[in-house]
Structure 1
Amino acid sequence: MPHRDPGRRERIIRACLDVIAESGVAGTSHRRVAAAAGVPLGSMTYHFSGMDELLHEAFTRFAQSVSDQFERRMAAAADVDAAKRAIVAIITDDVFDTHRDLVLTHELYTLAAREPAFRTLTNAWMARSRAALERHFDPTTARLLDALVEGLTIHRALDVEPQDPALVTAAVERLT
């Protein structure tokens, strides 16, 4: 089976994230993911031992992707002022730039709050964010900035008004 469709596993993982973004973790099933991926239902059990493995793999990919973007943004900052601007951009523009990514983030957080096995993903994600921030800030400030990023992205996801970059800039300035 895999030699005739080498991209099938990846398609399933991408489709799983799409289904989660549309229906939430609670509304995600093997049947829905298989339909979204355009694969036979039997492919699900061929590639994944169960829904937990599929969810873990999908959320691992998602968290790695967001962390990679975050790290690239922080690594590109040449100095502390550029790092502050990068944090504002992370919150207001690029890392969580789609509603889909914001929804997936919240679905992962909710799952991790209930299922300890998924906390390893969120903890690794937070550790990577703090390490990226520590390129420019001391560990305590990096931890506070990480919490600010998380909190303001939650607000961005739930607010009906667009987020004001001036307010985000002021918050970053106060913490740093």
Structure 2
Amino acid sequence: MATGHTDPQRRERIIGATLDLIAEEGITGVSHRKVAVRAGVPLGSMTYHFSGMDELIREAFTRFADHIVAVFDAHLAAPADRDQARQAVTDLVHALSEGSRRDLVLTQELYVLAARRPVYRELTREWMARSRTHLEKHFDPDTARQLDALIEGLTLHRALDDEPQDRALTLEAITRITTTDT
């Protein structure tokens, strides 16, 4: 394995290992030693690449937020009209809730940190603003804000329910929020 400066992927492996550990053991289960072992790097690499655990965890969650925003982009970039956008949001909710358990757990871990620590609250606010930017391509800002909250709630409920609601009910909820009286 390459060492030091000749291993450009080392930092990325450390971040990925950190996210994996958070998903498996929670924030309290993460340590420099565990991350180094998981990433397959010398323990000294931890302090070479990150000033401390807090910087590493912030960077890891920033990378995770980027990933989720990319999922939003993948679903919401193509719709040409409001009906297609509603279908795309439905697809997004189902993709998020039926997808990676890792992503679901990481989302909840980040929310817990954000509830306790302002720096993570700011990170989640930035993430939500970026997600809403994608929604605002199809809906007004107030509707996008409400829809973003609905996406979060439906995703969590669908992921944790023994009998999650079907696509028709998801689409109905999205349609109710995105239909304005004229």
Are 1:16 and 1:28, in contact at CA under 8 Å, matched by a contact in 2?
yes
1:94 positional shift: 5.0
1:41 counterpart residue number: 43
Compared CA separation, residues 70 and 152, structure 1 to 2 (3 A):
same
Q: Give aligned pairs, total.
A: 176
Mapped partners of 1:135, 1:95: distance in 2: 23
SS in 1 for 2:157: helix
2:125 to 92, 105, 123: 123
8 Å contact kept, 1:83–1:136 = yes
Letter in 1 for 2:86: K
Asked if structure 1 preserves the Cα contact closer than 8 Å seen for 2:98 and 2:159, the reply is no
Secondary structure in 1 matching 2:8? coil
- TM-score of the superposition, structure 1-length normalised? 0.94
Q: Which amino acid aligns with 1:103?
A: V
**Counterpart of 1:24?**
26
Change beyond 3 A, Cα 1:95–1:46: farther
Identity %: 62
What is the CA-CA distance between 1:164 and the residue it aligns to?
A: 1.7
Unaligned runs of 5+ in 2: none
The residue correspondences of 1:158-173 to structure 2 (distance < 5 A) are 158-173=160-175
| Cα offsets for 1:33-54 (capped at 9, x unmatched) | 1111011111111111111000
Report the counterpart of residue 159 of structure 2 in structure 1: 157
What letter corresponds to residue 84 of structure 2 in structure 1? Answer: A
Misfit runs of 4+, over 4 Å: none
Counterpart-to-counterpart distance in 1, 2:135 and 2:111: 21
* TM-score, structure 2 as length reference: 0.91
Which runs of 5 or more structure 1 residues have no equivalent in the other structure?
Answer: none
2:97–2:159: 8 Å Cα contact kept in structure 1? Answer: no
CA shift for structure 1 position 2:
2.9
Contact 1:17–1:104, Cα closer than 8 Å, also in 2: yes
- Supply the distance in 1 between the matched residues of 2:64 and 2:172 (Cα, whole angstroms): 29
Alignment partners' CA distance in 2, 1:12 and 1:95 = 27
Seen in structure 2, the aligned counterparts of structure 1 residues 96 and 67 have a Cα distance that, compared at 3 Å, is farther
